[in-house]
Amino acid sequence: MMKKIVTTLVVCSLAGIMVWAQPKKPVAKKAATASAGGMQASMVRGQQVYANVCIACHQKDGGGVPRLNPPLIKTTYVLGDKARLIQIVLKGLNQPLEIDDEEYTNPMPPQSNLTDQQIADVLTYVRNSFGNKASAITTAEVRTVRARTK
């Protein structure tokens, strides 16, 4: 009888150790609103990227330059398809673009040197500034588009 009890205790202990030693599965995170730190942090980081990279062409108010650089204010390019917007940042745009019956002809150079985090942040900033209101762009969305465009 004592042998059975000791054997049962040993087996249970080993089973407990095996369960405890198993690698833990990562807990699925809710899609981050914008990436590391939430929407507010993303907006702050995005504003900095905008000031360093985008402001010369799209201007401080997001209004662009008539017939050269398109505005970022309430356009379907900014508020519409996220993947298309991410693609424009990654690959640039080298064709005339018509917005509200005005044609913009200045090419946009690719910004593929920006990290996924920087692109997510700046696009979240643009989609929620200048009178715009749209969902955040996540680093996962940028990563997916970047992988498809290589």
Q: Is residue 16 part of a domain?
A: no
User: Total domain count for the chain?
Assistant: 1
Q: What is the CATH number of the domain that holds 132?
A: 1.10.760.10
Its sign, for the CA torsion 74, 94, 140, 34, is: negative
Which residue range forms the structural domain that includes residue 92?
33-149
22 falls within a domain: no
pLDDT value at residue 32? 45
Considering the domain boundaries, does residue 23 fall inside one?
no
The predicted pLDDT at position 150 comes to: 75
pLDDT 10s digits, 3-23: 444 343 333 443 333 334 444
Q: Does the residue 133 lie in any domain?
A: yes
Q: Residue 15 falls within a domain, yes or no?
A: no
Spans of the chain below 50 pLDDT? 1-35
Residue 8 lies in a domain: no
Does residue 13 fall inside a structural domain?
A: no
